Structure 1
């Protein structure tokens, strides 16, 4: 004998509706009767709207990830630039110090 557990059937149908697998053109009358028997209310247009919103959200997420990647690259470049700038500043100080030492050596040579 075959029997159906209405609660399990109701849960499975709600899952199919949620995942968009319930909408097909076959057995429309049977589906409507089954939904009525199991007291499941559904809006077939709602699934389309949800699907469209999901698509928009996925595009936004992809765009957001791309922007974050670009910001990370920018941060890395900025850090690299700052490090190079600091090295350049140190080189200038060393060069100035080197010039001062050379000038002092010149003065010493003149005194000798």
Structure 2
């Protein structure tokens, strides 16, 4: 898991800043007083879950909340203090307009195609 994370982060280090900037602009439906993790952290967690092809929320919580992975992710994302629980991400995705995620992703792909990076 650690080696995969390091390799993937090298690629995403180039792609993520623009995508995360767009994802951060998506309205957060959560109560501001109860928010522990920023929207960008929640989106990073969801992206990593997808990249690592986690089969279940339970396995995601077991694999991605370890201290070793957190240490490596903090090198790239210093604002990451701890990993959110998978149920937190699930509740966020249930409440938010997930079409906005797709729009941000498509915008990133268009930009990469325009710059001839793909």
TM bracket, shorter-chain basis: under 0.3
Greater share of residues in helix: 1
When normalised by structure 2's length, the TM-score is 0.22
Greater RCO (Cα-Cα under 8 Å, separation 6 or more): 2
* Structure having the higher Rg: 1
